[in-house]
Amino acid sequence: MVEAIQTFFLETLGKELCVFFCSMIPIIELRGAIPMGTAFGLDPWLNYAISVVGNMLPVPVILLFVRVVLNWMKKIKGLSKIALWVEAKADKNKGKIEKYGYLGVFIFVAVPLPGTGAWTGSLIAALMKMKFWKSLLFVFFGVLTAGVIMLLGSSAVAFLVRLF
């Protein structure tokens, strides 16, 4: 079943678009997309570029509209719990960013650990009402840094796998 799904997506979209769309998915982001591209055998710099662009695409939308969307969701019975959960997730990580300001946004996004990344960093920056352009810039540099870390790590693992 998994192979059928994988074959469908790879044949329909191609490796590059699979990596691109994967990098846009919350939680997975470029932390999952770069290893995927490495496993597909994509050129490392193409893999990096596709993953960074895909990961950054949702960021301006999050920074500009997440507060409006969450406030709207709170008014709808079935969606209010999701909105409150998202805000609680942001609040849980807010202290890490609050302490260092925009540098905190960069560090939070740059460190490739579960629960960190462009989506959560942008969410926190937006909910803290940080300036749009500065937040966008620091998230971008964080994504670039996380991408380099993931590319080096993925390439090292691929190299070691080929050795054995």
* pLDDT at residue 125 in the model: 94
Residues 6+ apart with CB under 8 A from 127: 66, 67, 87, 90, 91, 94
* pLDDT at residue 52 in the model: 98
Stretch 16-31: mean pLDDT: 93
Q: Can you give the length of the chain in residues?
A: 164
Task: Name the burial class of residue 119, with classes exposed (0-12), middle (13-18) and buried (19+) by CB atoms within 10 angstroms of its CB.
Answer: buried
Rounded CA-CA distance 115/93 in Å is: 9
- Higher model confidence: residue 97 or residue 102? 102
> Does the residue 164 lie in any domain?
no
Stretch 80-108: mean pLDDT: 88
pLDDT over threshold 90, residue 90: no
> Does the residue 161 lie in any domain?
no
> Does the residue 88 lie in any domain?
yes
**DSSP output for 132-143:** HHHHHHHHHHHH
> Does the residue 36 lie in any domain?
yes
* pLDDT at residue 58 in the model: 97
* 27 and 74 together in one domain: no
* 102 and 51 together in one domain: no
**Domain count for the chain:** 2
Highest-confidence segment of 25-29, 109-113, 132-136: 132-136
In terms of residue numbers, what domain contains 85?
A: 59-145
Max CA pair span of the chain:
56
* 24 and 85 together in one domain: no
- And the tokens for 85? 């959960």
- CB-CB contact of 23 with 50 (8 Å): yes
> Does the residue 151 lie in any domain?
no
